[in-house]
Structure 1
Amino acid sequence: MARPSKYVSRSDLGWGTSPAASADPRSGLVVHYDSSNQNLANRDHSACLTYWRNTRAFHTGPSRGWVDIGYSWLACAHGYVIDGRGPRREQAAQPGGNRTHYSVTLATGPTDTITDAQINAVRELRQWLADDYSNAGTVLGHRDFIATSCPGDRAYSMVRDGTFTQAPGPITGGEGSLLGLKEGDGLLPGAPVEGVKAVQRLIVAAGFGTTLDPDGVDGRWGPATSEGLLQARRYVGSGVSSIKSMTGESYAQLIRACARREAERAVSGLGAPVDGDDGS
């Protein structure tokens, strides 16, 4: 496969070849996010390039002192894959996996939108690495390596439900599509199992996982899942008294519940440090 269709190279950015050590990461791709909201989905693509240049300046400056930007790539909200250290380079992104896995950051914060174009950018990147660089194509989250909130609960649910490992094309998982559930069919026996699992994982991330006991995340939508969704919606101020279907409003409130819970964890000291913290 050719490299992703919307690609910004280091030379496009005015950067030379990365001075980072050579490596041959073949074990997979690790998804990251930012520690604060950037609102890049609502800004021009030029803002993504500015963000990326500023990130490199921070990583190579006195606060970090790294030889280059920490990540392999950025998948921006407008669907571009933007070079960081690039192929066959060691990263400073995830301790324990800097030489074995590539890294891609979404540059999203706790409540930023993860766009369909961004999801497809990760999919194209993953497929390109598998085809041209003998990478296993496995997608993980930063929290699979260390205790951290990165890449955020929403992105991590997409890691877990396989959203990023699907072939590039129409989104059948992720924010823009109700995770594969068509509006109104969420309580039907035939609702997609992976979509139901993703909603259940978000219920857990929002802090209401006990409602799913004893079966947990099982891909079956029954009274327990409805109760978990109801509690999550009420947590962010909804006055709804029962769940009749999985609507766009339901999903939006579930996402807000996850973001609120994540912010509470950060305030209480259970959150994560700024991403890219192992100092390679």
Structure 2
Amino acid sequence: MKLVTRRMWGGPASIGGYANPTRGCVAHYNGGAIGLIKPGKPHAACYDYVRRVHRQHLNQGWAGIGYAFLACPHGYVFEGRGLSHQQAAQPGGNSTWYSIQMMVGGGEQPTDLQIQAWRDCRTYIRQRRAVAAAIRGHYQFVSTSCPGTPTKRLIANGTLAGSGSGTPAPGGGSVTVPHMTTVRPVDEQQKAVNRLGYEPELDVDDVFGPLTLKGVEWLQEELGVTVDGLWGKVTEAAYLKRIGGSAPKPPAKPFPLARGHWFGPPSSDDRNHSGYYWPADRPHIKEIQGKVGAKKDGRYGPKTKAAVTAWQRKAGFTGRAVDGLTGPNTWGRMFG
């Protein structure tokens, strides 16, 4: 699952009070057509949409965006209120059901990537919380057209109940369509744009936001290739020809979690992957355990933390970096 956390789209650290929904997931939509499914619509527009809905819900007196999650047409899942929070989406079910908005409106048909993102999100929720398999539409709680005719059909014919991946994908927060970073990582794209003289310089933060999109489009115009904001093979070849260099070497083993997540002992923080509750992470934890000489049981317990702490000290980490947790920096030193 390609997860965009609240931090990535600019939301608050937390939204809404505690709740423990267990009855299932509810599908929603926007109401009026929003145009995110139009061909060529950049994924940056999805970020703008989520921020806009958040502001609207704040103006309505809510704690913020009312949905737990939102699925975008490019196949990404945006974290709204997230796990274990009171919803503000379906009266009568805000404390008992999770809400997942399909980011469409009117009669817009969700894209295949979007449908899969909705499934992935449901799987993500059910892997982490004791939530039933039931799927409902907003219209089953109040009199409304939500989630729209196309999505109602997807509920009725069982499409939304299809299998999904609940594991946050590496770099899931990058504002990209799925093939955008296969040629050159986002941070290397930002460096390349800056190298050709773009002003103001981009922050090299590995997040493909609206400013980076404009920078890549500028670079493509400079190179005389199609201006679409997608760094593909043609853009790569033209850039390498301009600078007379070679492509950056990819990392030997990319960090397998989304930005802001890490491997560590069990805790209440949903960004922490222990292997106790998230079975999909156990193979990665076994890799860590093999590297630090801990028992390879796929669960990040106190003994694994102690072994990682010792490994970090031996590797030259100091201060707060010696924490026994495995985030991108520790992982990169282990497997880079």
Q: TM-score, normalised by structure 2?
A: 0.47
Equivalent position SS for 2:37: helix
Q: Does 1:119 align with 2:115?
A: yes
Which residue of the partner structure matches residue 299 of structure 2? none
Which residue of the partner structure matches residue 134 of structure 1? 130
Following the alignment from structure 1 to structure 2, what is the Cα–Cα distance between the partners of residues 145 and 111?
21
What stretches of structure 1 of length at least 5 have no aligned partner?
A: 170-280
Q: Does 1:74 align with 2:106?
A: no
1:11 Cα deviation from its structure 2 partner: 1.3
Equivalent position SS for 2:136: strand
Which residue of the partner structure matches residue 157 of structure 2? 161
- Provide the identity percentage: 39
Is the 1:127–1:137 Cα contact (8 Å) retained in structure 2? Answer: no
**Which of 2, 9, 24 does residue 6 from structure 1 map onto?**
2
Which residue of the partner structure matches residue 52 of structure 2? 54
Following the alignment from structure 2 to structure 1, what is the Cα–Cα distance between the partners of residues 116 and 150?
16
Equivalent position SS for 1:69: coil
1:137 Cα deviation from its structure 2 partner: 2.4
Following the alignment from structure 2 to structure 1, what is the Cα–Cα distance between the partners of residues 74 and 145?
24
Following the alignment from structure 2 to structure 1, what is the Cα–Cα distance between the partners of residues 79 and 25?
14
Which residue of the partner structure matches residue 16 of structure 2? 20
Which residue of the partner structure matches residue 106 of structure 2? 110
Q: Does 1:93 align with 2:77?
A: no
Q: Does 1:45 align with 2:43?
A: yes
RMSD of aligned Cα (Å): 1.2
Paired amino acid for 2:92: G
1:113 Cα deviation from its structure 2 partner: 2.8
Is the 1:19–1:68 Cα contact (8 Å) retained in structure 2? Answer: yes
1:46 Cα deviation from its structure 2 partner: 0.6
Q: TM-score, normalised by structure 1?
A: 0.56
Runs ≥4 residues deviating over 6 A: none
1:138 and 1:39, CA in 2 relative to 1: closer, same or farther beyond 3 A? same
Following the alignment from structure 1 to structure 2, what is the Cα–Cα distance between the partners of residues 57 and 26?
28
Paired amino acid for 2:52: N
Is the 1:18–1:68 Cα contact (8 Å) retained in structure 2? Answer: no
Alignment size in residue pairs: 163
Is the 2:122–2:164 Cα contact (8 Å) retained in structure 1? Answer: no
Following the alignment from structure 1 to structure 2, what is the Cα–Cα distance between the partners of residues 94 and 74?
14
Paired amino acid for 1:54: R
1:67 Cα deviation from its structure 2 partner: 1.1
Which residue of the partner structure matches residue 261 of structure 1? none
Following the alignment from structure 2 to structure 1, what is the Cα–Cα distance between the partners of residues 85 and 31?
24
**Which of 71, 79, 82 does residue 83 from structure 1 map onto?**
79
User: CA deviation digits over 1:155-196, x for unaligned, max 9?
Assistant: 011111111111139xxxxxxxxxxxxxxxxxxxxxxxxxxx
Alignment of 1:241-260 (within 5 A): none
> Bigger relative contact order, structure 1 or 2, given CA contacts below 8 A and separation 6+?
1
